[in-house]
């Protein structure tokens, strides 16, 4: 990600597009290609990323909330109790 920010700051101060581009469309296309190549290289460098314990906790909490929401929406008009929501998690 650091390389992407370096590229972005450099590209905002210095035009890096080749002089062989003669039209605005060619210049824009060359800039887009360069941006995508840099972005893909940056994403490729992050393959060793490991989510933190906090990330796993948030994912688990999100799944629990989603399950409870689905249960409530499926039982609109019914009386709902905490035990019903707990059973929905099983």
Q: What is the pLDDT of residue 2?
A: 59
What is this structure's pTM? Answer: 0.44
Question: 33-67 burial, b for 16+ CB within 10 Å, e for fewer?
Answer: eeeeebeeebeeeeeeeeeeeeeeeeeeeeeeeee
Q: In this predicted model, what pLDDT tens digit does every residue of 30-39 receive, in sequence order?
A: 899 999 998 8
- Kindly list the domain boundaries of the chain, sorted by start residue: 2-45, 53-89
Q: Per residue in 42-56, pLDDT tens?
A: 887 766 777 889 999
């Amino acid at each position: 990600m650091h390389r992407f920010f370096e590229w972005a700051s450099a590209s905002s101060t210095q035009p890096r597009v080749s002089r062989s581009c003669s039209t605005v469309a060619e210049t824009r296309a060359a800039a887009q290609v360069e941006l995508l190549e840099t972005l893909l290289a940056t994403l490729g460098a992050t393959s060793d990323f490991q989510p933190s314990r906090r990330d796993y906790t948030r994912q688990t909490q999100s799944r629990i909330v989603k399950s409870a929401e689905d249960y409530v929406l499926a039982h609109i008009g019914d009386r709902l109790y905490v035990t019903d929501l707990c059973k929905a998690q099983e």
